[in-house]
Structures are given as C-alpha cells and as structure tokens.
Chain A
Amino acid sequence: QKEVEQNSGPLSVPEGAIASLNCTYSDRGSQSFFWYRQYSGKSPELIMFIYSNGDKEDGRFTAQLNKASQYVSLLIRDSQPSDSATYLCAVLQGGKLIFGQGTELSVKP
C-alpha cells in the first residue's frame, strides 16, 4: 500500500464546474496535509495546507480533512481552463513531505 494515494486521472470537468480531488494516506500519525499544483514542466506551487479536521477555504479552493477516515480532498469551485494541471497531495510525516502520484485535472472550455 502506498503511503499517499491519489487517482492519477485524468479528471475532466467543464469550465465553471466544481472539481473534486481526493487523497488517502496510510500513516495515522500524519499531522499536516498539503495541496500543490504542478503545471507541465514546472515545479510544484503551494495551494494550501490543512491540519485540523473539517474544511478550510481560500478563494475558489476548499480543502477538507477527515483524520478518522485518513482522507483529504481539494475542491475547486468555478473551474477555469487555467486550473488544468497536476494536483499533488502531500502529507507531512517525520518532518518530510510524502507525495502522492498526483491527479491530472483538465478543465474544458
């Protein structure tokens, strides 16, 4: 079992729709959870982090964390073609970020 798992996609949504990206992790002791966006050929850029159960909103992005289910998600409202990228879920374990394989999102105009 991988430590951090994501559906590799591609996930295709129409412009203006809500994109839902999911991530599960295996280590119950994980403390902080991060979502990064990576455009093709570029390095990851931080979207947001969450460490408490529940929802955290930042603009069009909402991160959701459920530690009991070991599940973290990212919702993107009003998806735009510029949101098309690979979204990486990362979990902080022992001071290190463990990354999932990423979910490719495609937003169609």
Chain B
Amino acid sequence: GAVVSQHPSRVICKSGTSVKIECRSLDFQATTMFWYRQFPKQSLMLMATSNEGSKATYEQGVEKDKFLINHASLTLSTLTVTSAHPEDSSFYICSARKLASGEGTQYFGPGTRLLVL
C-alpha cells in the first residue's frame, strides 16, 4: 500500500498564532515529501519540497520563514504556519514519494483545512 496521513484534518486558530501540521507515510519510506496549498476552485500549488535530513526547497513566492518545514525522518514531515493570518486560510495537502520510485509517483495525504480568524 501507500498510505499517507495528515494531522490535524481541520484547524481553526486566531490570527497571529502558529499551527503545526504533520504528514506521515504509514506503510512506506519517503525520502521526499511535498507540501501543497489549494484555494477554492483552484489547482494544487506546490509550496515546498522536503527531503529527509536536509533543508526544504521552497517555490518562488513562498516565505520560508513563515512556512517552516521539518523532515526529521523517512516517514514524517511537518509544516508550521507561523503567525497565521486570515489570508493563510486554505487547504494544505502533503504528498510523499516512495523511496526509489522511478516514475515519481506521489501519494497524497487527506489534507488539512486551516481557517484563521
């Protein structure tokens, strides 16, 4: 199988607080995990690529100091939205790529819906 979990599934927070989202590959090892954001009626936008044991690579326009990514093991990556504001409200989805996946298949977590009041 290829199961990816995310926690929490939904979070509501006040403006200015920080929120941590966990992404776990449950039945496989993932050297690379990806974090996406999806606004309503739009496609997935890649935020950053997370490699185990190294710094994340952020896409253009994504603030690395605001979206902190840690990939501490082959099965866990975390995204922390620091000092969240209402415009950060979105659907955050992680994906994981299997070790030695030649074709590059990514398996997605169920997503985390963030609402910042």
Contacts and interface: CB of A to CB of B under 8 A. Distances in A.
Interface of A: 31-32, 34, 36, 42-46, 49, 51, 88, 92, 95-102
B104 interface: yes
Contacts of A99: 43-44
A99 B104 CA distance: 14
Contacts of B111: 42-43
B104 A97 contact: yes
B49 A49 contact: no
B76 interface: no
A88 B95 CA distance: 15
Interface residues of B, number: 19
Contacts of B93: 43-44
A101 B105 contact: no
B21 to A, nearest CB: 13
Contacts, number: 49
Given A95-B49, A96-B34, A96-B46, A44 B108 contact: yes
Nearest to B44: A99
A51 B110 CA distance: 26
B52 to A, nearest CB: 14
B82 interface: no
Contacts of B49: 95-96
B104 A92 contact: yes
Interface in B86-117: 91, 93, 95, 103-111
Interface string B3-36: 0000000000000000000000000000010100
Contacts of A43: 91, 93, 108-111
Given A97-B95, A99-B44, 12 more contacts: A31-B103, A36-B108, A46-B107, A46-B108, A51-B103, A92-B103, A96-B34, A97-B46, A97-B106, A98-B46, A99-B43, A101-B43
